[in-house]
Amino acid sequence: MLLLTRRQTIFAAIAASLVGRPAFAQSAPAKARIALDWTPNTNHIGIYVAKAKGFYAAAGLDVEILPFADTSAGTLVSNGVADFGISSEIEAITQRAAGGDVKMVYGVVQTETARLIFKGGRDDIKSPRDLDGKTYGGFGGTWESALVSAMIRNDGGKGEVKTVTLGTSAYEALDNGSIDFTLEIYTWEGVAAELENRKIARFHYSDYGIPDEQTTVIVSSDTYLSANRDNARAFIQATRKGYAYSIDHPDEACALLISESNGALMNTELVKASQTALIEGHFLKSEAGVIGALDPTKADAIGGFLVENGILVDANGAALKDKPDFSTFYTNELLD
């Protein structure tokens, strides 16, 4: 009886000490920061869905979505201000070639979303070669001039145009005749133009010899990946789950994006129409069913185009003469 009483006393003391404690100690969720490349839009929808639906939380992550800033997301990632960032494939390749600590880790879209556009109904523009001598409304990027010139030359023209930097809406500039052509992201700007009943004609880059690219990607850094491999994998897989959910449940996904954007998105019709374009155009999910993977062939092709046109420079600003090993510029390992 004495032994039994002693055991009971010990067990009672232990039980009392555990009152109010969780059955198992739980570690705090790991923090992860992702920087946007622009104000919230449907390119970001999978991230907002993953956060709102608890996919990140279930993966043990506390994800902070950093608002768009003047500094590019790739630069923020390279300098450790953000762990992930929304970027473009061309920007990511350019920054890494120049010594930036930037690596592509997720392909948001599977094919090019940009288009060369001009005002519809013009009889003097039938194909890119007709753009010779006309005025291009640009945004100040070196990639643009190489792209435009190559499209025209590949169509039999000289590739010589006048360039002005846009200070107003591209569509307004087309309407008032201050420019003859410009570029757009079809899945957002182009869809908005269609909703406004603007008459716009378009040329696809790839129809005129420009390598297809994955216009929008998520980047991280080798520094972050080497120190946080498990968290990075959890983030990318939860993000892919968010994009997949947005494809299967577009109305709910659009509602979540709008409600979580802190008033940045007021045009519900545009958001829904844009998401429809992304789904029906097989941008978020390829016709083969691919979601999130980065395409080695596309990275090598567009990277090669950048080298050939003198756009890629090294850390000292000297143009690269030889193609680097573009397989080191991205990884699909986090999707496994």
pLDDT given for residue 27 in this prediction: 77
pLDDT at site 168: 67
How far is the C-alpha of 125 from the C-alpha of 131, rounded, in Å? 7
Residue with the larger pLDDT of the pair 163 and 3: 163
Residue 17: predicted pLDDT: 45
Cβ-based neighbours of 330, under 8 Å, separated by 6 or more: 92, 103, 104, 105, 217, 294, 296, 299
Please identify, in words, the CATH class of the domain defined by 30-110+214-328.
alpha beta
| Per-residue confidence (pLDDT) for residue 26, from 0 to 100 | 58
| pLDDT-derived band at 18, boundaries 50, 70, 90 | very low
pLDDT score at 142:
87
Do 114-208 and 30-110+214-328 fall under one CATH topology? yes
- pLDDT of res. 5: 46
Q: Which of the residue ranges 11-25, 114-128, 177-191 would you say has the lowest mean pLDDT?
A: 11-25
**Residue 3 in this model has a pLDDT that exceeds 70:** no
Record: fold of 114-208: D-Maltodextrin-Binding Protein; domain 2 (3.40.190)
Predicted local confidence at residue 9, as pLDDT: 45
pTM of whole model > 0.85? yes
Domain parsing of the chain, residue ranges = 30-110+214-328, 114-208
* 26 vs 301, more confident: 301
Cβ contact 83:32 at 8 Å? yes
Instruction: Report pLDDT digits (tens) over 231-253.
Output: 999 999 999 999 999 999 999 99
Share of the chain above pLDDT 90, in %: 87
Look at the block and give the residue holding tokens 């920054």: 95
| Res 2 pLDDT > 60 | no
Check whether 197 has a pLDDT greater than 60: yes
What is residue 298's predicted lDDT score, i.e. its pLDDT?
Answer: 98
C-alpha of 21 from chain center: 43
